[in-house]
Structures are given as structure tokens and as C-alpha cells.
């Protein structure tokens, strides 16, 4: 079920009618959450509920077994992770493997061809698999006591707000919250509502309107040979994916607040980062911290010498690329970011640049533009398309503004300006300035929220699924 579909509004209204009644008792709370989450997920395709069930049963029983059989804890951990990661790899990466194998067979002249499996990618599989894996690893590392209540575990694993596109909530953050009904104050309801409204605004107004231009640019061969056009398209895509994904996270966090729970922040204005190291502490925080805690640090992190720390960094980033999608373009995207971070570590250029006047702003701009270059690989349909786009971008030909203006709609440009100004507002730290008194601020907030609701309705773009659903 999409957050931006009419079905969801009916679903959520029905959910919150019964939630205040059923949330007070542990059993009814867990069962109601599981039931609602399964309806939410099964609305798309109920058959794939079996995968969540399998994933959950393996992790739940694995967690208990790891705690009860200390002698076999390592093999139990490996088995549990292998099953869950195996399911993920089969559904997500099997065809990518077959495609590469076919290429290899062709190069070797084996004369054989393996047909792709063409399996449907279950929605949210990457997210709930990583949640269940974090649970068993935390139990193994004695950071978490395994729950004995399977209903509580499934309420955590399948909790609908973050089920399809994150944030990847760790069991340590949510399981203990689920043990109680959670207090819901007026402030919490208000914060939740604001998050939901902001999330929808980012998704349906900004991302969906920008998507029209971006989708048409990437729909076929690279026809437009204007450098400024492609730079503009890439800047648009950077904000499209940011608004799309952070919009989903905001809605998820807002809904959780209404339920009485806290989900950690997933995006913290990533495009105002003056370095790539900071960028990765602001972009998809739940995923980057997952890779840091479960791949980078276990590999030795930065404690094992300079060269090894670079290797660890590249491994963690490349796996992150593969997590996003089974294509070489995603691996190149991840490799570019690994390269950016590596160069940054060696040269420390952001800090050096920040020493000069206006250097911090320049660093932010550079990081943003380099991120846009990497996004080309993330968004392109193929490697060939990506290289064609990059060659146009860096040819600096046809930089006349008129060419770009004629090809880009006013609505998309306006939406881009809105989000650019918003990020600039935070970059210049204007949010920390006391523009108005607290009293005026309190009175203005509901008015601003209402205006945003109306804008979400009348300026919504063509309904699109959230981008991260496909990951």
C-alpha cells in the first residue's frame, strides 16, 4: 500500500480508530499491529507475506538459540544470516549474477546461455531483512536480550510505517518501546502531524513534480546535448530522490509518533554537508550506521592501519551499492563515493578549504555537485546512458540558458527552487535565529501546516511510487 494512495488514507483512519482501545494491552497491541501491518503489506501481494514470516521465524528462533546454546552461537548466527541474506540475494541479485555469468561464458566461448529467473522483487525485502539481521547480530554480540514473545518480535519486524522503505529501525531501538503502550501527548501528536505533512509535501509536491522532468530525460537515448540541461536534470534528481525518500521517512516517523513510538531520524539535510564523511552521517542515516556497525567496524574499521581501513571502507560502500540495486551502475555509484571519501581522508580538503573565507560554502557546493555526478550512475538505465550523460555534462557545450529553459517545465523549476531555498535556510542556520516570538510561532505553525496540506492537494504531481520501494 502506498502512503500516497487513497487506500492508505482509509487504512490509516481505520487503524487509528481502534488503536487507542487496543494499544493498552500487550497481547492485543502486538496482534493488532501485526494484523494491520500484514494487511498493509499484503495489499500489494499477500503471497510475499510468507517471506516476512520465514524471515521473522528464522531470526526469532535464531536469537533464542544463540542465547541458549552458547557453544553453537557462531554457527547459529551464520545459519540465520545465511538464510535471510540468501533470500534477499535470490530475489534481488540472482538475475544480475546470471547476466554476468552469461557474459563470462560468452567471453570464454562456452556457447551456453542461462535464462534469467525474472523473479518479482518483494517490496521492502532489503529493509526488513536488514532489521532482522541486526537483531540476531545484536543478540550474538550481547547488546540485546532476545525476546521470548514471537508476537512482540513480529510487531517490531513488520511494523507498517517503516516496513516498505525504512528507516531501518534496530531491534534495540524499537523492541523495548513496544513493551509498553507508549504515552501520546498533544505535543507528540502535533510533532507527528507536522512530520506527516512535511513528508507528504516533500513527496507529492516536490519529488513528484520534479520526477516528470527527470523521468522524461532518462526515458530514452540521450538526445538533448545541452550541458546546462543535464546539470539541471541531475540537480533535480538529487532533490527528487532526497524528497522522495526523506518524505517517506518523515511520514513513517510521524505515524510512529501518533502510535506513541519514536523512530530515529533518517535524513538530516545531507546536501548542506561540507564533506563526504559528513554527508554519510546525514544521508540515509539508518543504513549508513548499519553498514558502519555491522560491516565496517567488524572488518576492523579504522583501527587496523591506513591501507586496511581504506579496504574496509570500500568493502562497506560497495556492499551498500549492491544493497541499492543489482546493477553495475549502483556499484559504480558506490565506488565513486568510496573514492570521494578516500580522497577526502588523504587530502583533508574540506577542512583546508573551510579555513579560507567562504570556503565552507564552497565545500558544500563541491560536495553537492560531486554527489550529483555520482547520482548519474544511480539513476541511469544503463552504463552507456550514464557515460553519455556525463560526457554531455562535462562537454560544457550549449550552455545557453534558453535551451534548458525550453526543455524544463516551470512547475519543476519552481519546486526545485522551493527545496533549494529550504536547504539554504538550514545551511545559513537561519533556523537557529529567533525571527519571531515563541507565541507568534505557536500560532503560525497550524496556519503553515494547513497551507501545506492544501498545497499537497492542489499542487500534487502525478502519483508515483516511492523510489526506495524498488530497493
> Where along the sequence are the contacts to other proteins (CB under 8 A)?
6-7, 186, 189-190, 193, 197, 410-411, 414, 445-447, 449-451, 453-454, 457-461
Per the listing, cell 539541471 goes with 232
Task: Kindly state the smallest distance separating residue 446's Cβ from other proteins, in Å.
Answer: 4
Of 9 and 72, CB closest to other proteins: 9
Q: Give the cell for residue 425.
A: 535556510
Task: Kindly state the smallest distance separating residue 271's Cβ from other proteins, in Å.
Answer: 25
Task: Kindly state the smallest distance separating residue 452's Cβ from other proteins, in Å.
Answer: 9
DSSP letters of 237-294? HHHHHHHHHHHHHHHHHHHHHHHT-------S-GGG-SSHHHHHHHSSHHHHHHHIII
Task: Kindly state the smallest distance separating residue 400's Cβ from other proteins, in Å.
Answer: 24
Q: Give the cell for residue 278.
A: 559528513
- How many CA atoms does the CB half-sphere of 31 hold within 13 Å? 7
Angle between helices 359-379 and 328-347 (to 10 degrees): 160
For the beta carbon of residue 335, count every other beta carbon within 10 angstroms.
17
Per the listing, cell 544470516 goes with 81
Of 235 and 456, CB closest to other proteins: 456
Q: Rounded distance, CA 395 to CA 393, Å?
A: 6
Of 399 and 451, CB closest to other proteins: 451
Task: Kindly state the smallest distance separating residue 344's Cβ from other proteins, in Å.
Answer: 41
List CB contacts of 208: < 8 A, sequence separation 6 or more. 460, 461, 462, 463, 464
Per the listing, cell 559504480 goes with 332
Cα dihedral 321, 323, 326, 327, rounded to 10, equals -10
Of 197 and 235, CB closest to other proteins: 197
For the beta carbon of residue 257, count every other beta carbon within 10 angstroms.
25
Q: Give the cell for residue 342.
A: 578516500
Ranges of H-type helices in 109-159:
125-140, 150-157
For the beta carbon of residue 346, count every other beta carbon within 10 angstroms.
10
Task: Kindly state the smallest distance separating residue 443's Cβ from other proteins, in Å.
Answer: 10
Task: Kindly state the smallest distance separating residue 376's Cβ from other proteins, in Å.
Answer: 28
Task: Kindly state the smallest distance separating residue 411's Cβ from other proteins, in Å.
Answer: 5
Per the listing, cell 565506488 goes with 335
CB 124 within 8 A of CB 165: yes
CB 286 within 8 A of CB 166: yes
Of 83 and 453, CB closest to other proteins: 453
Of 190 and 425, CB closest to other proteins: 190
Of 208 and 244, CB closest to other proteins: 208
Cα end-to-end distance, the chain, whole Å: 16
Query: If you count them, how many residues does the chain have?
Result: 471
Task: Kindly state the smallest distance separating residue 450's Cβ from other proteins, in Å.
Answer: 4
For the beta carbon of residue 33, count every other beta carbon within 10 angstroms.
24
Q: What is the 3-state secondary structure (H, E, C) of 310-327?
A: HHHHHHHHHHHHHHHCCC
Catalytic pick among 113, 324, 361, 427: 324
CB 470 within 8 A of CB 378: no
List CB contacts of 121: < 8 A, sequence separation 6 or more. 91, 92, 470
Of 75 and 216, CB closest to other proteins: 216
Catalytic residue status for 337: no
Closest CA to 157 of 85, 254, 86, 55: 55
Q: Give the cell for residue 38.
A: 500484514
Active site residues: 324
Amino acid at each position: 500500500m502506498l502512503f500516497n494512495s487513497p487506500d492508505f488514507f482509509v487504512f490509516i483512519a481505520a487503524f487509528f480508530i481502534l488503536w487507542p482501545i487496543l494499544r493498552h494491552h500487550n497481547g492485543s497491541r502486538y496482534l493488532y499491529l501485526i494484523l494491520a501491518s500484514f494487511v498493509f503489506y499484503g495489499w500489494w501481494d499477500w503471497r510475499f507475506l510468507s517471506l516476512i514470516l520465514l524471515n521473522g521465524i528464522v531470526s526469532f528462533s535464531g536469537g533464542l538459540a544463540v542465547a541458549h546454546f552458547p557453544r553453537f552461537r557462531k554457527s547459529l548466527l551464520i545459519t540465520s544470516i545465511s538464510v535471510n541474506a540468501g533470500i534477499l540475494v535470490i530475489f534481488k541479485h540472482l538475475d544480475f549474477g546470471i547476466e554476468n555469468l552469461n557474459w563470462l561464458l560468452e567471453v570464454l566461448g562456452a556457447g551456453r546461455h542461462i535464462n534469467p529467473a525474472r523473479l518479482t522483487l518483494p517490496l521492502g525485502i532489503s529493509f526488513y531483512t536488514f532489521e532482522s539481521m541486526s537483531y540476531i547480530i545484536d543478540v550474538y554480540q550481547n547488546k540485546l536480550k532476545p525476546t521470548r514473545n514471537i508476537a512482540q518480535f513480529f510487531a517490531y519486524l513488520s511494523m507498517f510505517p517503516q516496513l516498505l522503505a525504512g528507516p531501518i529501525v534496530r531491534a534495540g531501538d524499537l523492541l523495548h518501546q513496544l513493551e509498553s503502550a507508549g504515552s501520546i501527548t498533544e505535543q507528540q501528536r502535533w510533532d507527528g502531524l507536522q512530520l506527516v505533512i512535511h513528508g507528504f509535501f516533500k513527496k507529492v509536491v516536490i519529488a513528484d513534480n520534479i520526477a516528470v522532468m527527470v523521468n522524461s530525460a532518462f526515458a530514452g537515448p540521450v538526445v538533448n546535448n545541452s550541458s546546462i540541461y543535464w546539470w539541471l536534470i541531475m540537480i533535480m534528481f538529487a532533490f527528487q530522490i532526497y524528497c522522495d525518500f526523506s518524505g517517506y521517512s518523515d511520514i513513517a516517523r510521524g505515524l510512529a509518533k501518533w502510535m506513541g513510538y519514536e523512530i530515529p531520524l533518517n535524513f538530516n539535510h545531507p546536501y548542506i554537508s561540507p564533506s563526504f564523511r559528513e554527508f554519510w552521517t546525514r544521508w540515509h542515516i539508518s543504513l549508513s550506521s548499519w553498514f558502519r556497525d555491522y560491516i565496517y567496524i567488524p572488518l576492523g574499521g579504522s583501527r587496523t592501519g591506513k591501507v586496511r581501513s581504506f579496504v574496509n571502507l570500500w568493502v562497506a560502500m560497495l556492499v551498500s551499492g549492491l544493497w541499492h540495486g543489482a546493477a553495475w551502475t549502483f556499484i559504480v555509484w558506490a565506488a565513486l563515493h568510496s573514492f570521494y571519501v578516500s580522497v577526502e581522508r588523504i587530502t583533508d580538503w574540506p577542512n583546508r578549504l573551510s579555513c579560507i573565507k567562504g570556503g565552507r560554502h564552497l565545500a558544500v557546493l563541491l560536495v553537492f555537485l560531486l554527489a550529483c555526478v555520482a547520482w548519474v550512475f544511480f539513476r541511469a538505465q544503463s552504463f552507456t546512458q550514464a557515460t553519455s550523460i556525463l560526457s554531455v555534462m562535462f562537454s560544457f557545450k550549449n550552455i545557453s540558458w534558453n535551451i534548458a529553459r525550453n526543455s524544463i517545465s516551470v512547475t519543476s523549476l519552481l519546486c526545485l527552487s522551493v527545496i533549494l531555498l529550504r536547504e539554504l535556510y538550514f545551511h545559513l542556520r537561519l533556523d537557529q535565529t529567533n525571527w519571531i516570538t515563541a507565541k507568534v510561532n505557536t500560532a503560525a505553525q497550524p496556519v503553515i501546516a494547513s497551507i501545506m496540506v492544501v498545497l499537497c492537494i492542489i499542487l500534487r504531481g502525478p502519483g508515483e511510487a516511492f523510489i526506495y520501494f524498488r530497493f
